[in-house]
Amino acid sequence: AQKVTQAQTEISVVEKEDVTLDCVYETRDTTYYLFWYKQPPSGELVFLIRRNSFDEQNEISGRYSWNFQKSTSSFNFTITASQVVDSAVYFCALLPRRDSNYQLIWGAGTKLIIKP
């Protein structure tokens, strides 16, 4: 089965706290891509990161960091020192390489609320 699970439906934290959004995936493919997208209240999906299955290096971009662990099939996303502007729904997605139609498999999304 090919599946993405974002078990956290909603997370609420106070500004400046660190927060981690979990993403667990299932795929039979050995080559695949993982993505994170942000959807603010305006609705537009903003691409945050793409990770190739062969690249397990963690990545940091400013306050954002991603922890990719193939051993646990997880690709978690951490926001450090959260800000109100980080409030959004965050989606994790999987692209199995064998899928020639390039169709993404989406998680259900995690709604992140950052309180001032």
Partner 1 sequence: GAVVSQHPSRVICKSGTSVKIECRSLDFQATTMFWYRQFPKKSLMLMATSNEGSKATYEQGVEKDKFLINHASLTLSTLTVTSAHPEDSSFYICSARSPGTQETQYFGPGTRLLVL
Residue ranges in contact with partner 1 by CB under 8 A: 33, 35, 37, 42-47, 50, 91, 95, 101-104, 106-109, 111
Q: Which neighbouring-strand residues pair with 1?
A: none
Provide the minimum distance between the beta carbon of 43 and partner 1 in the complex, in angstroms, as a whole number.
4
Provide the minimum distance between the beta carbon of 65 and partner 1 in the complex, in angstroms, as a whole number.
19
Nearest to 58 by CA among 77, 71, 73: 77
Provide the minimum distance between the beta carbon of 4 and partner 1 in the complex, in angstroms, as a whole number.
9
Q: What angle do CA 53, 78, 90 make, to 5 degrees?
A: 80
